[in-house]
Structure 1
Amino acid sequence: MELTVLQTGLIGLLISFLVVYFVTPRFIPMLKRLKFGQAIREEGPQSHLEKSGTPTMGGLVIQLGVLVAFAILSVLVGNWDFFPILVMLYFGAVGLIDDYIKVAKKHNLGLRAWQKMVLQCIGALAIALYAYYAPAIGSEMVVPLMDQTVDFGFWYVPFTFIAVVSIVNAVNLTDGLDGLASGVTLIVAIFFFVGSLALPQANTSIFTGAIIGGCLGFLRHNSNPADIFMGDTGSMALGGAVVVMAIITQLQIFLLIAGALFVLEALSVVIQVSYFKSTGGKRFFKMAPIHHHFELSGWSETRVVTVFWVVTAISVVIAFICLG
């Protein structure tokens, strides 16, 4: 029986969900034995100090779930386009190195900022050039409120390069509260899953479906109070996954709408740093990223996460409206 694009996507979702849901509880004791626990910054919200030592690097399980789903369905449908998987794994590897330095080498800052940026830029340039020259993607993007794609020519490359670096870092910044990054990514992925149904290639719906399933399975163990954190291993992998979903569906511009929460988180850090430097040490927010500002304003962690999920859901609805 030949599977439709929708069916392959839903099966990918189910496989990834089951793998992550059932493997994560078995992964947590191993991380505890290795003493791979999260260090909590003392300058952060005091309520977070009790989370110190919570197992991290849970993003490995999310990637495992996506890989298993993608591998099984690639065999079934004869799809061998591993571009989205490679993007996820590359940024996941950068995050893994960062996490390993933090937890195994007991160096709380991980990779130096310039090292992380160099690795991200190398990946972003390779992705932008590949997408530009790939016949199935090319330099066209769908523009909001227009019933057609627009060819951006070679300007596509710098636009995509900036988008990749920005979104990977934005998702990484969003991962500061239990269930926040995984929940927001899940909701944003739904937009691209629907967008993938219009494409003939099954790999897109498989990948987007697997990301949804992986995030959903992980949320069971990452919601407040979290039994495990995804770490940079997960947040960077999901950042790469989000941006590559936008690239292969030609919906990069819509990522600014559907992923508005990611943009807000990153923008709050830019504003905070710029204001701090220009005013000689004054802060625009109580703390950045902005989810910590709301915590320090008296909101509970659960309330912040729930509101941010709702904001993301509204953003996705607006993106669908703009898509027409």
Structure 2
Amino acid sequence: MSLPLAIATSFLVTLTLMPVIIRLFRSLGLLDKPDKRKIHSISTPSLGGIAIFIGILIALVLSVSFADLATEKYFLGGIILIFFLGVRDDLSSLLAQHKLVVQIFSAFLVVYLGGVKIEGLNGLFGIHTFPWVFDEIFTVFVIVVMTNAFNLIDGIDGLAGSIALIISSFLGWASFKSGNMIDATFAFAITGATFSFLLYNWYPSKVFMGDTGSMVFGFMLTTLMVKFLTTPIPPSVILSPVATSLALFVILVYDTLRVILIRLFTGRPPLSPDRNHIHHVLLKLGLNHAQSTISLVSYNIIVIAFAVVFQNIGELWLMLIMTVVTVIVGAILDRKLMRREAARLAKLIPPEIKMRKSHTSV
């Protein structure tokens, strides 16, 4: 196995295919068109995930022996299913429940047939080993939720790709240091393809990854994260794998929980689309796509660095601090947005109505 070959191949293949994808889907008129729910103002090709998937797949074929790839057949099978699901959804939107069925089945392949599962929490909350069957159900749940979380965060130029780049790079490094070369190759293949994609997806974007890309990223990276949790890691590399995993996915976890809670409190279905994501908040505060992406990615990197540097304080303390700080930062942004919206609405009130209200209060 050759990690440099995996990175270089996925990068070059994706870089070569991306302009072809852009021209092809523009000529076919298969574009993501602006509407009231979307931020972009120009019709843009949204199947960049095809180039990403092909780049990763060719990199794996060239970098990993067929014997080693055979041991990952259920993982590869799940990835391929998710890819075709994404293509189908990008071409013609599917109902959420239909996508959920395929995602659960793909996770089932990895967990029940591939044997990839979270068996415990490394002693966190006193849980070293999950009860029988619960570990498999819990792992399927995590994979499906985080696959969709990547889809949810893919709302502005460069954000989902940048987060995927950070997570894949870290998991590739951790797998390499642990001697798990197969997982390291998978992770670094994602890194190469993602870096190439970002050259076209950075603000202003020439192409979107679409559900094809976001779901493939989410499925692959979450599965690699589960394997990271279940593979023996030298204490000199990572002492707190559960907390470190939360740090890697902190933006995704926070944003997913945030929008679901907002939807539930406002009486809307939890899977209904809206513009209440954390990146929407930053845009409403006046940042552009690039500034919003850099802000969120920088926070993600800071949290990961904190988890690695201070891992000796223990899983529970790390997770508690990361959770509290993230919630506080989010609350500050929400509060700032509320004040800005209140000030904007106040300016829209005619002077005579303001005068009438002041006299009434007196």
Q: TM-score range by the shorter chain?
A: 0.7 to 0.9
CA distance in 2, matches of 1:200, 1:291: 37
How big is each residue's C-alpha offset from its partner over 1:21-40, in whole Å with a ceiling of 9 and x where there is no partner?
12211221111111110122
SS in structure 1 opposite 2:45?
A: coil
Q: Deviations over 1:257-291 (max 9, x none)?
A: 2110111221121122012119xxxxxxx932221
Indicate the SS of the match to 2:267: helix
In the alignment, structure 1 segments of 5+ residues that lack a partner are: 102-109, 279-285
The aligned residue for residue 282 of structure 1 is none
- 1:69 corresponds to which letter in structure 2? A
Take 2:96 and 2:88, find their aligned partners in 1: how far apart are those partners?
A: 13
Aligned to 2:195: 216
Matched, 1:86 2:80: no
Distance verdict in 2 for CA 1:319–1:126, change over 3 Å: farther
Q: Equivalent pairs: percent with the same residue?
A: 25
The answer to whether the 8 Å contact 2:47/2:208 transfers is yes
Q: Which has the larger Rg? A: 2
1:139, 1:153 within 8 Å by CA — same for their partners in 2? no
1:256 alignment partner in structure 2: 246
- Name the residue aligned to 2:275: 287
Question: Is 1:313 matched with 2:297?
Answer: no
Relative contact order higher in (CA < 8 Å, ≥ 6 apart): 1
Aligned to 1:111, which of 55, 69, 94? 94
1:274 has 2:252 as partner? no
Match of 2:56 in 1: 66
Secondary structure of 1:228's match? Answer: coil
Structure 2 CA distance for aligned equivalents of residues 86 and 315 of structure 1 = 33
Shift of 1:213: 0.6
* 1:168-187 alignment runs, 5 A limit: 168-187=147-166
Distance change (3 Å), C-alpha of 1:68 and 1:265: same
Match of 2:86 in 1: 95
Distance 1:87 1:97 in 2: 15
Give the whole-Å Cα distance in 2 for the aligned partners of 1:84 and 1:156. Answer: 18
Q: Which residue of 2 aligns with 1:17?
A: 11
The amino acid across from 1:28 in the alignment is I
Aligned counterparts of 1:20 and 1:291: Cα–Cα separation in 2:
26
Instruction: Indicate conservation of the 8 Å contact 1:15/1:213, yes or no.
Output: yes
SS in 1 for 2:71: coil
TM-score scaled by structure 2?
A: 0.74
Q: Which moved more, 1:256-265 or 1:310-319?
A: 310-319
CA separation of 1:138 and 1:159: change in aligned 2, threshold 3 A: closer
Residues 124-174 of structure 1: CA distance to partner in whole angstroms, max 9, x if unpaired? 23322234xx3xx5654563899xx94334331122011011101100001
Residue 123 of structure 1 and its aligned partner are, at CA, apart by: 2.1
Contact 2:81 2:102 in 1 (8 A): no
Provide the aligned C-alpha RMSD in A. 2.6
Pair 1:257–1:141, CA change in 2 (3 A): farther
Q: Distance in 2 between matches of 1:64 and 1:167?
A: 22
| 1:35-83 superposed Cα distances (whole Å, 9 cap, x missing partner) | 11012231444xx2x23x2111110111111101100112388553334
- The answer on 1:237 being equivalent to 2:231 is no
Match of 2:292 in 1: 304
3-state SS in 1 of match to 2:64? helix
The one of 124, 127, 130 aligned to 1:152: 130
Distance change (3 Å), C-alpha of 1:176 and 1:144:
farther
- Which is further off, 185-194 or 215-224? 185-194
